[in-house]
Amino acid sequence: MRVDFNVPMDKAGDITDDARITAAIPTIQYIVGQGARLVLMSHLGRPDGQRNEKYSLKTVAHHLSELLKQEVRMADDCIGAQVQAAIVELKSGEIILLENVRFHPGEEENDADFSKQLAMLGDIFVNDAFGTAHRAHSSTAGVAAFLPSYAGFLLENEVKMLRQVMEHPESPRVAVLGGAKIKDKLGLISNLLDKMDILLMGGGMANTFLKAQGVNIGKSLCEDKLLEQARNLLDKAEKQNKKIILPMDAIAAETLSEDTVATVCEINAIPENMMILDIGPQTTAVFSREIGRAHTIIWNGPVGAYEYAQFTAGTDAIARAMAVSQAVTVIGGGDSAAAVHKLGLDQEFTHISTGGGATLEFLEGKTLPGVQSCEG
């Protein structure tokens, strides 16, 4: 079973957020409850195809053991005779976690021989790692060529919920988009214009659209090379009678730091020496009103420099407005999910995706190799 145990850790090597581990537990418990011998595989970090103890999954195995109240054995590697011998020793209902699959270059290369060696460790392949489903790697897609393949509960639910909001959304349909850059989100924005009625845009990515409209954004983050693409998307929205709502005011400051002096500015009056670092109160009110009217809402990306405390107000307001909404609410993972988690509002949302890049590519309309291999 492929899981996504690529969890964040601090400098001491302790897990700081186990959401990805807990998300896989229902599938794990179901499988061992059927009496199967369960072999788990995952990656952690970017060890670049070499063994690096910094990226060992030993800590994850220990943590999972505590969560399951059941021993999770730890393999020394993910392929080879020793691993095969350890799996043979497993009894019905027991679990072993393979060492980081990215310790081998064949993983990210989707090498057929490496895939085959992984496949030799099991009789059935279950993919429950939606967060890596956009990667055509050996442990996410390659193994499926050698074994009967199925989706786990987590992956199945992710696909079901994301398809629901993209293929059968109830109007009014609203997408909230933030984050620093639009470079990786041009396809997403274009696809969402086809599916949604209104796009509420904040964060650094909104600056490029504001500048494309002729707004002076001071020294704010902006992708000047993408101004033409931004204009094209604004034109597309107008032709399709869709609305892209950009900030009317902003929280601006001279520097991006915890102790900088922040000021509320009208969007057409950003001082030359300042940068936009959050949406302002007027924009927050407009965004919240549109969220309150919506029946379907997708959110991806914070609308301010969320890593700094004094620029979290806009993102927090978006989270609270969605939490009290009666709409179907879906969060596309990443920093948006972290913001909701910090506010303790997780249970108020219809679905919080465990994917980052996978969610973005799915919402963009791309075929994910890890999903496709379970559906074929």
Q: Of 2, 20, 185, 211, which is the active-site residue?
A: 20
N residues, the chain:
376
Q: Of 58, 181, 219, 342, which is the active-site residue?
A: 181
**Residue 290 half-sphere exposure, CB side, CA atoms within 13 Å?**
23
Q: Of 152, 301, 334, 370, which is the active-site residue?
A: 334
Q: Is residue 334 annotated as part of the catalytic site, yes or no?
A: yes
Q: Is residue 370 annotated as part of the catalytic site, yes or no?
A: no
E strand spans, the chain: 38-40, 72-74, 95-97, 125-127, 149-151, 173-177, 198-201, 243-245, 249-253, 263-266, 275-279, 296-300, 328-331, 351-352
**Contact at 8 Å (CB) between 211 and 267?**
no
Q: Of 45, 49, 80, 357, which is the active-site residue?
A: 357
Query: Can you tell me the distance from the alpha carbon of 114 to that of 122, in angstroms, rounded to the nearest whole number?
Result: 14
Report DSSP letters for 170-203, one per residue: PSSEEEEE-SS-STTTHHHHHHHHHH-SEEEE-H
- Residue 229 Cα distances to 146, 217, 282, 289, 347, angstroms: 43, 18, 27, 28, 37
359 burial class (0-12, 13-18, 19+ CB within 10 angstroms)?
buried
- If you ran DSSP here, which 8-state letter would residue 26 be given? H
Active site residues: 20, 181, 334, 357
